Amino acid sequence: MIEIKTNQPANARNAPPFLKGTCSKMLYNCGQRTSRFLIALGPNALENALVWLMALIVAYGILINTETRTDLATTTFYIALLLMAINLFSISAVIVVALSCMLVLTSIFLYQGVFQRWESTTELLRSLTVLAAITFLALRSKQVSDRLRHKEVYMVGAQRLTQTACFGFRADLGSMGWSEQAARILEYPAGMPATVSLFLARTHPDDLPLVLAGFDKAARHESLIEVKHRLLMPDGRIKHLHMFATPLFTRHGGFEYLGALMDVTASKQAEEALYRAQTQLAHVTRVASLGELAASIAHEVNQPLAAITSSGEACHNWLSRPVPDLDEARQALDRIIASSIRASEITGRVRALSRQSDPLRQSESLNDIVSQTLCLVRHELFHHNIMAKIDLATFDAQVSADRVQLQQVIINLIINACQAMDVVTASRRTLHIRTWVKDNEAVLEVTDQGLGIPADTLSHLFTPFFTTKENGLGMGLSICRSIIDFHDGRIWVTSETGQGSSFLFALPVLVAEESGYASAI
Ligand code: ADP
């Protein structure tokens, strides 16, 4: 490795090569250091340093003028000193400076012994009046600017605390401005001038149409614009924003929007975590209730299996005849195929219930969901000695639903109803399941003939972990409510002590079509 040694002073070494002499290089580096120092001081410190420098020059001006006169020209120096003090000191210090100026001015007047001359006295009075008036006005403006500065500090602090920022937008000019906090949320340097393209550069590509639609609304001068969208940061992080903007009529007839921009990433993440936890809990309780339904499911699957066995035997017999009856054998095979399909449908439904998957809402027939759920609980009803009356709406309502989740709600309500009727005589055990459509809502009602629910308990039923059962968990109804909330519906209960209870839920209807369902028992 070759090391090149130079005789130049250290501070001349970094100068650019086009500077020839050592002296010019040193001057260059000295300038560099000074500018770096001034930059390090920041814009405020630089301003203050300049004001101090000017104050010193003015003070020097006053000193050399005291030898001569107390006229208005000298007063100008005092005024300049006063204005600079306002920039640098607190209100009380400024008052001290003003009083000192007046005192100095009067002392000079007395020292010069010119008070016998009328013009000199009026000149002094004029100078003092001007100084007093300017001090008064300057103090008032300082008070206002101090108050404004305080408010700004509060506003910036509040924006930082609430993760809220403000912005302005002019659709006609396509110009934009934003607060320091907005720059922080968008992760741009604080002093960077705000532009629409910078804002769009941070917008998640999938949400660009949403944001552009917001700008279009601004161009149409709409009264309130609200946009919820995501930001995509250069390192791949996603942020969630919530923006509001309302028009502000400017003095020159312009139309500017003033908006608030909130970083709701933390609450969005908490919401998602809660949603995931609820889904997992719903899954766990669903699997638990599947355990309770094991007997029903086994019975349901057993029926087609028995039918397959007997049809298989029949087919064997038809084929074993001296003259095989192929027609009969074919029919037996058709029955085998139909029963196999039924058995696989049942196991498919059970598998769907036990599977942990993200809820998927699609257009579903409420009546279909009820009918399929009944297949799973038929044996449960039989086991509890319960007669079921099913009354499905003739207008088959299509609802936006996750089939598995709604099945879970219905199973839960039916199992609760069965358990509630364990304590009454067998002849009274009737379960009534009804669906109907009213006011654009599809309603399902599960009514039992149990002993009802005491009035003081009714309000606690949907609270997590509320149970009156020895082995109860108290999560069933609370999960039912969160599922129905997720479906934009409502769930409620009516009960009369000694007369049984009715649990109902209502979901918004997508379409209602005439169906082939009739009352069934
Ligand atoms: P769990 O069944 O584990 O107790 P749930 O949330 O399903 O949890 O039910 C909470 C409570 O609501 C039950 O313990 C019971 O007291 C009451 N309850 C629910 N359904 C009925 C009903 N059909 N009749 C009477 N009480 C009921």
Span 320-363, pLDDT tens digits: 999 999 999 999 999 999 889 888 887 877 777 777 667 778 99
CA distances from 364 to 400, 404, 512 (A): 6, 11, 11
Take atom 26 of ligand 1 and give the residue whose Cα is closest.
453
CA of 388 to the centre of ligand 1 (A): 19
**CA trace torsion 215, 217, 218, 221 (10° rounding):** 170
In this prediction, what percent of the chain has a pLDDT beyond 70?
A: 81
Q: For residue 182, which amino acid is it?
A: A
CA of 366 to the centre of ligand 1 (A): 23
Instruction: Please say if the pLDDT value at position 235 is more than 90.
Output: yes
pLDDT of 473 reads 80
Ligand 1: which of 414, 423, 461 to mutate, most ligand atoms within 8 Å of CB?
461
Give the whole-angstrom CA distance, residue 222 versus residue 431: 54
pTM: 0.53
User: Confidence band (pLDDT; 50, 70, 90) for 23?
Assistant: very low
324 contacts 318 by C-beta, under 8 angstroms: yes
Give the whole-angstrom CA distance, residue 237 versus residue 130: 61
Instruction: Return the ligand 1 atom nearest residue 471 CA.
Output: 3
Instruction: Return the ligand 1 atom nearest residue 467 CA.
Output: 14
Give alpha helix (H) positions in 321-453: 326-354, 366-383, 403-420
Take atom 12 of ligand 1 and give the residue whose Cα is closest.
461
CA-based torsion, 454, 456, 461, 464: positive or negative? negative
Question: What value, to the nearest 5°, has the Cα angle with vertex 223 and ends 222 and 225?
Answer: 75
pLDDT of 20 reads 47
Q: Which residue bears the tokens 């609980």?
A: 377
pLDDT of 33 reads 54
When pLDDT is averaged across residues 401-419 and rounded to a whole number, the result is 90
When pLDDT is averaged across residues 67-93 and rounded to a whole number, the result is 73
CA distances from 41 to 192, 316, 343 (A): 19, 100, 81
Q: For residue 379, which amino acid is it?
A: H
In this prediction, what percent of the chain has a pLDDT beyond 90?
A: 34
What residues contact 514, with CB distance under 8 A and at least 6 apart? 394, 395, 396
In the structure, which protein residues have their CB atom closer than 6 angstroms to any atom of ligand 1?
Answer: 412, 416-417, 420, 448, 450, 453, 461, 466-469, 472-478, 501
| Span of 36-50, 149-163, 359-373 with lowest mean pLDDT | 36-50
Instruction: Return the ligand 1 atom nearest residue 446 CA.
Output: 23
Question: What value, to the nearest 5°, has the Cα angle with vertex 86 and ends 81 and 88?
Answer: 95
CA of 504 to the centre of ligand 1 (A): 14
Instruction: Return the ligand 1 atom nearest residue 461 CA.
Output: 12
Between β-strands 430-438 and 387-391, what pairing exists: parallel, antiparallel or unpaired?
parallel
Give the whole-angstrom CA distance, residue 260 versus residue 165: 6
pLDDT of 10 reads 40
Q: For residue 1, which amino acid is it?
A: M
User: Confidence band (pLDDT; 50, 70, 90) for 29?
Assistant: low
Instruction: Please say if the pLDDT value at position 7 is more than 50.
Output: no
Write out pLDDT tens, residues 499-508: 899 999 999 9
Question: What value, to the nearest 5°, has the Cα angle with vertex 413 and ends 288 and 462?
Answer: 90
Instruction: Please say if the pLDDT value at position 9 is more than 50.
Output: no
- Highest averaged pLDDT of the listed ranges 271-275, 345-349, 459-463: 459-463
